[in-house]
């Protein structure tokens, strides 16, 4: 593992404003090489995974250390806390929440109330740890024959249901002062391979995509953050996945969907992307992403990403400021009452 060096620091532009990157770290505490690298590269923020989280006191220390490394007490710290099988925080220290599909099965207003309740409780969990952004909810639709990587992480195959329950979940997170990241824009649901391993290709027509896959993202285009899909939509750009496609980002995400918030790439280390890490980062930013995401904590890979990642653009800074301006003021929260309400809502679920 290489450490941050004078050569690396000299190869990077000024650290103010922050680098247009979100990085992971390897374990439950920072090692000196990571501390030096984060200080030298100055990423906007960080993302945590299960490997980084053992108990509440440890997560609080790690979040504090990460922010200290970049010299910004407000550096955003993200996590994927969806409920079900994608939960970086779990028992015994944190509750196990049901997957979105189980919540949707409640139907109607009950499902919407449960989606809100789960998200509000998750927001409380994250806020207690000093985390600020949740990569949740998924707005991807469920399709027969698609790869199970989405599976019960999707609320439903019905765009209206996905829009309604995603809105409720976003409202719950925001009430708890946690910014949601809607994903995977403009839709991962039709993918027949797992983008963690290979590049999915979607052959549906543009009209089909506009009416179904893109619809929930259009309904929630006012959300503060969104994460791209490493998926090729042949009807829009037959060559490049959304993350790397100026056409998909410009014509679809910023265009027909109308999303105006912070756009972050999905993880650059996923198998759907090819080429070196510097090239991946440069291509994502050139395509229109505001931020690139690198999750696995591999130092060599992060160094390459940092070398190709400039400071945040003026447009990205405006979007980040708008996102933060939308973070509500704190409101009283009765945890015990919220847990009791969720139990009541889930009592009739199969």
Residues labelled catalytic: 196, 266
Spatial distance between the Cα atoms of 201 and 315, rounded to a whole number of angstroms: 30
Q: Contact, 22 vs 293, CB < 8 A? A: yes
CA distances to 50, 78, 98, 226 from 75, rounded to whole Å, are: 20, 10, 29, 18
Spatial distance between the Cα atoms of 180 and 258, rounded to a whole number of angstroms: 17
Number of C-beta neighbours around residue 177 at 10 A: 17
E runs forming strands in the chain: 19-23, 43-48, 77-79, 81-83, 86-87, 133-134, 179-185, 201-202, 225-228, 232-233, 262-267, 291-294
Spatial distance between the Cα atoms of 129 and 283, rounded to a whole number of angstroms: 34
Spatial distance between the Cα atoms of 157 and 152, rounded to a whole number of angstroms: 11
Closest to 243 measured CA to CA, from 293, 198, 204, 202: 293
- Count how many residues are written for the chain: 350
Q: What is the DSSP letter of 252?
A: I
Partners of 43 in the beta sheet?
19
Spatial distance between the Cα atoms of 181 and 265, rounded to a whole number of angstroms: 11
């Amino acid at each position: 593992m290489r450490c941050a060096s004078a050569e690396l620091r000299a190869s990077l532009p000024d650290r103010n404003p922050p680098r247009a990157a979100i990085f992971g770290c390897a374990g439950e505490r920072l090692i000196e090489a990571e501390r030096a690298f984060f200080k030298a590269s100055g990423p906007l923020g960080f993302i945590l995974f299960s490997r980084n989280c053992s108990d509440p006191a440890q997560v609080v220390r790690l979040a504090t250390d990460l922010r200290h490394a970049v010299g910004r007490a407000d550096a955003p710290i993200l996590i994927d806390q969806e409920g079900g099988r994608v939960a970086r925080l779990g028992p015994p220290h944190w509750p196990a929440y049901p997957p979105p599909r189980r919540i949707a099965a409640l139907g109607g207003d009950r499902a919407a109330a449960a989606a809100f309740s789960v998200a509000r409780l998750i927001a409380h969990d994250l806020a207690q740890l000093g985390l600020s952004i949740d990569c949740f909810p998924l707005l991807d639709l469920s399709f027969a024959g698609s790869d199970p990587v989405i599976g019960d992480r999707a609320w439903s195959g019905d765009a209206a249901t996905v829009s309604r329950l995603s809105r409720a979940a976003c409202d719950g997170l925001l009430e708890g002062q946690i910014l949601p990241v809607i994903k995977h824009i403009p839709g991962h649901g039709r993918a027949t391979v797992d983008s963690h391993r290979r590049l999915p290709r979607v052959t549906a027509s543009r009209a089909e995509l506009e009416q179904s896959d893109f619809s929930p993202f259009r309904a929630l285009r006012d959300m503060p953050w969104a994460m791209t899909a490493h998926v090729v939509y042949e009807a829009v750009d037959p060559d490049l996945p959304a993350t790397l496609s100026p056409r998909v980002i410009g014509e679809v995400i910023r265009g027909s969907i109308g999303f105006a918030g912070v756009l972050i790439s999905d993880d650059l280390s996923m198998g759907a992307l090819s080429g070196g890490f510097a090239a991946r980062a440069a291509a994502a930013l050139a395509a229109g992403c505001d931020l690139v995401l690198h999750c696995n904590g591999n130092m060599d890979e992060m160094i390459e990403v940092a070398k190709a990642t400039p400071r945040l653009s003026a447009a990205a800074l405006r979007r980040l400021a708008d996102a933060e301006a939308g973070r509500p003021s704190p409101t009283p929260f009765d945890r015990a009452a919220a847990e009791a309400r969720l139990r009541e809502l889930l009592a009739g679920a199969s």
